[in-house]
Amino acid sequence: MNHPRCDQTQAWAALKGHFEAHGRDFDVRDAFARDPLRFASMSVEAPEVFADLSKNRLDTATQKFLLDLARECGVEARRDAMFKGEPINLTEGRAVQHAALRAPRGAGLFSDDVHGVLDAMLAYAETIRDTATSGIRHVVNIGIGGSDLGPQMVVPALDAFVHPGITFHFVSNVDGHDITPVLRKLKPAETLFIIASKTFTTQETMANAQAAKAWFLANGGTDTHKHFVGATTNIQAAAAFGISTTFGFWDWVGGRYSLWSAIGLPIALAVGADHFRELLAGAHAMDQHFAKTPAAKNLPLLLGLLDVWYRNFHGFTSRSVAPYHQGLKRLPAYLQQLEMESNGKCVDLAGASLPYATSPVVWGEPGTNGQHAYFQMLHQGTDVIPVEFILVKRPTHALTDLHTKLLANGLAQSQALMLGKTPLQAAAEKAPTASKELDAQTLARHRTFPGNRPSTTLMLEQLTPRSLGALVALYEHRVFTSGAVWGINSFDQWGVELGKALCSDLLPRLASGDVGGLDGSTAGLMQRLRG
């Protein structure tokens, strides 16, 4: 597939000119004053997700140039190649087929394999969820990165659907402070350990798995075959560990795209087979939207292009995600891996260095907590950081008063970011806590908000397995889009290798004290650690 690099396209040049002429000084407030229908024209409906893009530094001309850019960079052609199963993960010679994991039976690639494992895994999950028979009260998922963050994000998000008789724990860090307090709560006979690792070689996961097995045997556990189960592509290694029940998946499922596969076992155990299938169905609906909806109304495509606009033309270096739903408290962490491991690359598909920026930093906390921590900087700091609000219309609890307050807060923050407050408005207000010593003008300057700070609002009717599936798939395809524009491989992660290799070298040195050949800082730190 031969497409020009994004910065060599006509659209890129047009966007540069457009940015200088209209983008740099674009004011969303003026745009609303000029166009009262802006909200309607800049909102997009996708399966389960409504998106308001109108508070962004964006107009129809910008969108048109961005859509031209997508076309020239071959985003849709790359998308079609992904869905067809072509080996678009060039550096590993692999297809990228997480969408096949959520296609209905008979509809996607590898359907027999996918549904064979899915059926077996869901049937197994139901036997464990029958706690009267299984005796299982605690499930411990041991995995890291993509073998942890997906289930760890989804299980609390779907709390309203989770089996009330089973507690879910997630152990990922090789720091013993992670697993120790978890083990303290467990009894071997009531516990199921899932060893989740695509490769079944990851240091952290293997170390925690060994620690769990040792604890199990030391505390009277006998039947490891019943209490340890594997989710992996490396069934042989799982067997060598002593696991006889394993749910497999395939090399065309990337770790950070794997919650739909056997890696989703904790989710299936938590919410049951029907809800797991709903999660898949929601994601599949978003796949269809991404694959088939014309570009101008294609939400993942539009969001990915907006990311390019902000990163490469406005020069914004990060994006903050603010889910106004406590259940989505791990979504920012999940998105960090999804976006930054996928698009944190500095060479193109041919290995040539890139002269433009790629992945932004993605970060955030649930609202309203973030408001009382870092929102100060979002409103008055020197950096402009686009914010993504996620609002959920209907809660799954009955505390409607709290929910109304939550929604009002979310709306107010995006409104405040956009509207700001002029020095004149600030001067006209009473500020009871302000110092009486300061003159009014100085005070007003401290209390001024620049405004015109961009945000997107994604809205769900309710947080259900189906809507969560759609939301996560939306993010996957959005990351695909910006990665395709940038011409990078969003599906490898060579950047994690160097640290792993150096760690293998340092591990024996920490024991022996051998600092020969090490750089001065590492040698000095090691000596202090050993001292």
Q: Is 452 left (phi over 0), alpha (psi -120 to 50) or beta?
A: left
Does 493 contact ligand F6P by CB under 6 A? yes
**Chain centroid offset of residue 391 CA:** 17
Does 197 contact ligand F6P by CB under 6 A? yes
Distance of closest approach, residue 149 Cβ to ligand F6P, in angstroms: 8
Q: What totals of helices (H) and strands (E) does the chain contain, helices first?
A: 23, 11
Q: Which of 205, 312, 336, 489 binds ligand F6P (CB under 6 A)?
A: 205
Distance of closest approach, residue 202 Cβ to ligand F6P, in angstroms: 3
Stretch that binds ligand F6P, among 35-43, 133-141, 197-205, 409-417 (CB under 6 A): 197-205
Does 489 contact ligand F6P by CB under 6 A? no
Rounded Cα distance between 226 and 234, Å, is: 19
Closest CA to 485 of 18, 16, 79: 79
In the region spanning residues 231 to 260, those forming contacts with ligand F6P, defined by CB under 6 A, are 255-256
Q: Which of 47, 74, 108, 145 binds ligand F6P (CB under 6 A)?
A: 145
Rounded Cα distance between 284 and 276, Å, is: 12
**Structural tokens at position 164:** 């009330």
- Is 393 assigned a catalytic role? no
Does 147 contact ligand F6P by CB under 6 A? yes
**Chain centroid offset of residue 288 CA:** 20
Active-site residue, selected from the candidate residues 225, 372, 405, 446: 372
Rounded Cα distance between 513 and 14, Å, is: 59
Active-site residue, selected from the candidate residues 84, 185, 393, 500: 500
Three-state secondary structure call for residue 475: helix
Stretch that binds ligand F6P, among 94-102, 166-174, 194-202, 439-447 (CB under 6 A): 194-202
Distance of closest approach, residue 209 Cβ to ligand F6P, in angstroms: 10
Give ∠ CA 38-42-43 in degrees, rounded to 5. Answer: 120
How many residues touch ligand F6P under the rule CB under 6 A: the total is 14
Q: Which of 23, 47, 108, 146 binds ligand F6P (CB under 6 A)?
A: 146
Q: Which of 42, 44, 128, 144 binds ligand F6P (CB under 6 A)?
A: 144
**Residue placing its CB nearer to ligand F6P in the complex, 498 or 529:** 498
**Residue placing its CB nearer to ligand F6P in the complex, 91 or 369:** 91
**Residue placing its CB nearer to ligand F6P in the complex, 197 or 456:** 197
Kindly write out the interface string for residues 311-350 of this chain, putting x where it contacts ligand F6P by CB under 6 A and - elsewhere: ------------------------------x---------
- Residues 139 and 269: beta-carbon distance below 8 Å: yes
- Is 403 assigned a catalytic role? no
Does 496 contact ligand F6P by CB under 6 A? yes
**Residue placing its CB nearer to ligand F6P in the complex, 432 or 499:** 499
Residue 44, number of CB atoms within 10 A of its CB: 20
- Residues 324 and 391: beta-carbon distance below 8 Å: yes
Residues β-bridged to residue 52: 43, 457
Q: What are phi and psi of 322, to 5 degrees?
A: -125, 90
- Residue 106 is given by DSSP the state T
Does 455 contact ligand F6P by CB under 6 A? no
Distance of closest approach, residue 362 Cβ to ligand F6P, in angstroms: 16
Residue type (1 letter), 171: V
**Residue ranges with strand state E in 351-404:** 361-364, 387-394
C-alpha pair distances (Å), 84 with each of 108, 418, 488: 9, 41, 19
Residues catalogued as catalytic:
341, 372, 500
Name the site residues for ligand F6P (rule: CB under 6 A).
144-147, 197-199, 202, 205, 255-256, 341, 493, 496
